[in-house]
Amino acid sequence: MKKCVKMFTIGACTLLLCGCGEIPKLSDGSEAVVNFKDLEGVSANEIYQQMKETYGLDALLTLMDTKILEHEYPDDLETLKNNAKSAVDSMINTVGKDQIEAYYGSTDNYQNAIYLSSLQQKAILDYAKTLVSDKEKQSYYDKNIYGDVKVSHILIETGVTSDTSSEDKTKLETEAKNKVNDIIKKLDEADDKFAKFKELAKEYSADAATKDNGGDLGSINTNTLSSQYDELLKAARELKDGEYSKSVITTELGYHVIYRESSSEKPSFEDKKDEITESLANQKISEDATIRVTAMDELRKKYDMDIKDEDIKKQYSNYIANQIASAKGTTSN
């Protein structure tokens, strides 16, 4: 990134020196960027060659991708620019403006980098979506899409900490499990199971956020709650409406008794297709790092990218090959 900053700085100087009025010439007739009193000056061709060898490909990729991506996603530009500005403002508050400028040259350069990265992520995701087959979508729908379940729970904490001895840990866990089983027994004996559950939640639950509301977690589904509740949700899906758990449910939080109050029908495949496709595309990106490289390369080819400078053209070819090789190494690890 620092390379891009430096190249843009040099490029700006070139424009300032050569772009206004009559272009000065060196003795060999080439366009001058810098003249000296007693020395041969620096030509535009010399500075171009230097920039090309040192920073050229970085700057070219930035310019190409910005042009292409802004054409691809015209409706998203304002939002992404505003998001980038907010990210920079937040970073300034965190590390200070000087730190950003020390690395990126200016806050504008940093903001532009965030903006371009956001556009690239959109393109990479859209490319990955094309790799998702209809069979994969249907399989994901069959195995992972459920209707909402309305669930209440009673949380019993063990009191175990990192300092708890092995002997005390066993004792505390046993006591907590016994308490869960006592609650289940009380539910078994109750005439109105749901009303009794609410009463027991207020009396026993360690979840301060829900106990006064009878342990109500609301209607939940995948990703509604944190991953700490995954086992609870799994158990809830195995119950029928109006049923409560008859054995101890263990999560990172402790032990639970749950009551499944109601449920909704599984949404249709068509309603969930776009969400499924995006989820599977993100999974592919995380599993195969080469997709990020290939996605941008294919997008550039879509616009018939034709690099005229043979040196930079070779640099680009080597860059793509090296990036894919590096990505394959990352994926295999």
Which helix (DSSP H) or strand (DSSP E) does residue 259 occupy?
strand 254-263
- Please tell me the distance from the alpha carbon of residue 93 to that of residue 40, in angstroms, as a whole number: 48
pLDDT in tens, 147-169: 999 999 999 999 999 999 999 99
| Residue 145 CA to its chain's centroid (Å) | 21
- Amino acid (one-letter) located at 162: S
Question: How far lies 215's CA from each of 185, 210, 236, 276, in Å?
Answer: 18, 5, 14, 31
Q: In the 3-class helix/strand/coil scheme, how is 82-127 assigned residue by residue? A: HHHHHHHHHHHHHHCHHHHHHHHCCHHHHHHHHHHHHHHHHHHHHH
Of residues 320 and 309, more confidently modeled: 320
Instruction: Give the pLDDT of residue 271.
Output: 97
At residue 41, the pLDDT reads: 75
Domain ranges of the chain: 1-57, 147-263
Label residue 241 by pLDDT band (50, 70, 90). Answer: very high
- Summarised one tens digit per residue, pLDDT across range 103-150 is 999 999 999 999 999 999 999 999 999 999 999 999 999 999 999 999
What is the average pLDDT across 66-85?
Answer: 97
Q: Any idea which residue has 């990134």 for tokens? A: 1
Per-residue pLDDT tens digits for 176-224: 999 999 999 999 999 999 999 999 999 999 999 999 999 999 999 999 9
- Per-residue model confidence (pLDDT) at position 23: 57
Q: pLDDT tens digits, residue range 14-51?
A: 444 444 455 566 566 677 777 777 777 777 787 778 87
Torsion of CA 295, 301, 307, 313, to 10 degrees: 50
Per DSSP, 31 falls in state B
Q: Both ends of the chain: CA-CA distance in Å?
A: 26
**Domain 147-263: which CATH class?**
alpha beta
Look over the chain and give the mean of its residue pLDDT values, rounded to a whole number.
Answer: 90
